[in-house]
Amino acid sequence: MNVIDSIPEIRQLRWADPTLSWGLVPTMGYLHEGHLALVRRAKAENDQTAVTIFVNPAQFAPTEDLSTYPRDLARDLTLLQAEGVDLVFTPTATTIYPPDFQTTVTVQQVSQPLEGAARPTHFQGVATVVAKLFNILQPTRAYFGQKDAQQTVVLRQMVRDLNFNVAMIICPTIREADGLAMSSRNAYLSPEQRQAAAVLRRALLAAQSAYAQGERRGDHLRQLMTETINTEPLARLDYVSAADPETLQELTDVEEGVLLSTAVFFGKTRLIDNILASAYEMAK
**Contact region for ligand PAF (CB under 6 A) — 67-75, 105-113, 124-132, 191-199?**
124-132
Least Å distance between CB 275 and ligand PAF?
18
Please report whether residue 114 would count as binding ligand PAF according to CB under 6 A. no
Between 65 and 250, whose beta carbon lies closer to ligand PAF? 65
27 touches 51 (CB < 8 A) = yes
The yes-or-no answer on residue 35 being catalytic is yes
Task: Classify residue 180 by its DSSP letter.
Answer: P
Least Å distance between CB 234 and ligand PAF?
25
**Contact region for ligand PAF (CB under 6 A) — 123-131, 197-205, 218-226, 267-275?**
123-131
Least Å distance between CB 156 and ligand PAF?
13
Spell out the residues 6+ positions from residue 283 whose beta carbon is closer than 8 angstroms to its own: none
Please report whether residue 80 would count as binding ligand PAF according to CB under 6 A. no
Cβ burial 137-168 (10 Å sphere, 16+ → b, else e): bbbbbbbbbbbbbbbbbbbbbbbeeeebebee
Strand partners, 88: 3, 51
d(Cα 143, Cα 23) in Å, to the nearest integer? 7
Task: Give the DSSP letter string of 255-284.
Answer: SS-EEEEEEEEETTEEEEEEEEE-HHHHH-
Nearest CA-CA partner of 104 in 77, 75, 78, 131: 131
245 touches 258 (CB < 8 A) = yes
Please report whether residue 248 would count as binding ligand PAF according to CB under 6 A. no
Least Å distance between CB 179 and ligand PAF?
20
**Contact region for ligand PAF (CB under 6 A) — 25-33, 67-75, 101-109, 225-233?**
25-33
Q: Count the Cβ atoms, other than its own, within 10 Å of residue 201.
A: 20
Please report whether residue 115 would count as binding ligand PAF according to CB under 6 A. no
Between 14 and 147, whose beta carbon lies closer to ligand PAF? 147
Angstrom distances, CA of residue 13 to CA of 2, 4, 20, 104, 185: 9, 10, 11, 27, 33
Please report whether residue 129 would count as binding ligand PAF according to CB under 6 A. yes
Between 124 and 208, whose beta carbon lies closer to ligand PAF? 124
| Subset of 145-184 contacting ligand PAF (CB under 6 A) | 148, 151
Q: Which of 27, 128, 228, 261 binds ligand PAF (CB under 6 A)?
A: 27
Q: Which of 59, 124, 186, 274 binds ligand PAF (CB under 6 A)?
A: 59
Least Å distance between CB 27 and ligand PAF?
5
Between 56 and 208, whose beta carbon lies closer to ligand PAF? 56
89 touches 5 (CB < 8 A) = yes
Q: Mind telling me the catalytic residues?
A: 35
Interface with ligand PAF (CB under 6 A): 26-28, 56, 59, 126, 129-130, 148, 151
